[in-house]
Copies of this chain bind each other. A is one copy, B any other.
Amino acid sequence: MPVDDLFLRACRGERTERVPVWFMRQAGRSLPEYRALREKHSILDMCRTPELAAEVTLQPVRRLGVDAAILFSDIVVPLEAAGIELDISPGIGPVIEKPIRSGDDVGRIGDLAPDGIEHVNQAVRILVDELEVPLIGFGGAPFTLASYLIEGGPSKNHILTKTMMLSEPSLWAALMERLADIVLVHLRGQITAGASAIQLFDSWAGALEPADYERFVLPAVARILDGLADTGVPTILFGVGTATLLELMASAGPSVMGIDWHVPLESARVRLGTMPVQGNLDPAALMAPPEVLDPKVHAVLDAGRGRGHIFNLGHGVLPETDPDALQRVVDTVHAWQPDE
């Protein structure tokens, strides 16, 4: 991927002649061509089969003309590769057969091979050959992975997770470190295979108060980002509901902070200084008619000022989204020019 690629320049904080745009969950249920494939394959099968993962990754790039692809995967894929038995249950999410709740359980988590997960790396290689835009590698951050592992599935209040975190700090630290190392190997594998950037999803980090995030989670995120530094690829860190965590998350060392829709992008820019930002249209705004949607897209663009700004939603594309609305956003972003 040429270093003067639009998306990569925005990740480096540069002013860009137009604003790059991609969407979290752009490969997914909002696209009929994805749903057609999903009828024949489970999510895990699609993640495990390089040709399918690549095809699903390509679908939104072909249809929408977004400026980056993101590897189709699930954050639990490296956990499965590390020996954790799990499934992705339709309409629920990842389900862990034997949750991790003790030191013995943590001991059950295995290693990844030094090169990461071969079927993932192979999908990356196929994509890098096909794509004319950068491929973003995909990983989950340790707190979010730990929550799935400990709760046994998606959780509203993360009670067991927080209980371990607060009550058994050394067990917790061991688990965080273990997960950080697995994620790091997984992401380095994707980079070696050709990924041009990485997005690290800490989907549930927003469940934490800042003091707990700083003490119990930040070190593991920093461990991953530090471990990627020598690769030179940009890293994007994102979680939803993280309005009070942004500065702390930024201090973990990502190149770009992903901003959810609760935080006005203008205010994120003030708080984060010159750090590039990605975001942050409310995904529900895509249900609104053009006369409402367009000004909302423009408001985000205006706040981004065309410098170090990657346009995205403030969370994943909702499955109910009309692909034409996604197309409209792409076209609006591409037509917009910074003022001066």
Which positions 204-258 of chain A face chain B at CB distance < 8 Å? 206, 208-212, 241, 243-244
Distance, CA A241 to CA B211, complexed state (A): 17
- A249 CB to closest chain B CB, in angstroms? 13
Interface residues of A in 15-57 (CB under 8 A from B): none
Known: A264-B210, A264-B211. A282 touches B243 (CB 8 A): no
- With A159-B320, A211-B299, A292-B166 in contact, is A264–B284 under 8 Å at CB? no
Chain B residues lying within 8 Å of A206, measured Cβ to Cβ, are: 241, 262
Min CB distance, A30 to chain B, in Å? 12
Expressed in whole angstroms, the minimum distance between the Cβ of A43 and any Cβ of chain B is 19
Q: How far is the CA of A289 from the CA of B282 in the complex (A)?
A: 39
How distant is the Cα of A241 from the Cα of B242 in the complex, in angstroms? 9
A159 touches B209 (CB 8 A): no
A162 CB-CB contact with B under 8 Å: yes
With both beta carbons as reference points, the residue of chain B lying nearest to A263 in the complex is identified as: B244
Q: Mark A266-305, 1 if CB is under 8 A from B, else 0.
A: 0100000000000000111101110010000001000000
A287 to B150, CA, bound (A): 15
In angstroms, Cα B262 to Cα A212, docked, is 10
Asked whether, in the complex, the Cβ of B244 is within 8 Å of the Cβ of A167, the reply is no
Cβ–Cβ contact A287 & B209, under 8 A: no
Q: Chain B residue with minimal CB distance to A265?
A: B209
Q: How far is the CB of A291 from chain B (nearest CB, A)?
A: 10
**Contact status B318-A284, CB under 8 Å:** no
A163 engages B288 (CB within 8 Å): yes
Q: Which of chain A's residues 96-133 have a Cβ closer than 8 Å to chain B? A: none
B residues within 8 A CB of A138? Answer: none
Taking the closest CB of chain B, its distance from the CB of A248, in whole angstroms, is 11
Q: How far is the CA of A155 from the CA of B231 in the complex (A)?
A: 42
Q: Are B287 and A267 in contact (CB under 8 A)?
A: no
CB-nearest residue of chain B to A267: B244
A282 touches B241 (CB 8 A): no
- For the complex, give the distance between the alpha carbons of A80 and B204 in Å: 35
Minimum CB–CB distance from A23 to chain B (whole Å) comes to 15
For A159, A210, A320, which residue has the most chain B Cβ atoms within 10 angstroms?
A159
- Cβ-neighbour of A262 out of B159, B244, B284, B285 (below 8 A): B244
| A39 CA / B90 CA spacing, docked (Å) | 33
Are B167 and A289 touching (Cβ within 8 A)?
A: yes
Interchain CB contact under 8 A, A287 and B159: yes
**Any B CB within 8 A of the CB of A89:** no
A-B contact pairs, 21 of them (CB 8 A): A157-B284, A157-B318, A159-B320, A162-B282, A162-B287, A166-B284, A166-B285, A167-B287, A167-B288, A167-B292, A208-B262, A209-B262, A209-B282, A209-B314, A210-B262, A210-B264, A211-B264, A211-B299, A241-B262, A243-B244, A244-B263
Q: A162-B288, A163-B288, A166-B284 are in contact. List 20 more A-B contacts (CB 8 A).
A: A157-B283, A157-B284, A158-B284, A159-B284, A167-B289, A206-B262, A209-B262, A209-B264, A209-B282, A209-B314, A210-B262, A210-B264, A211-B264, A211-B299, A212-B282, A241-B241, A243-B243, A243-B262, A244-B262, A244-B263
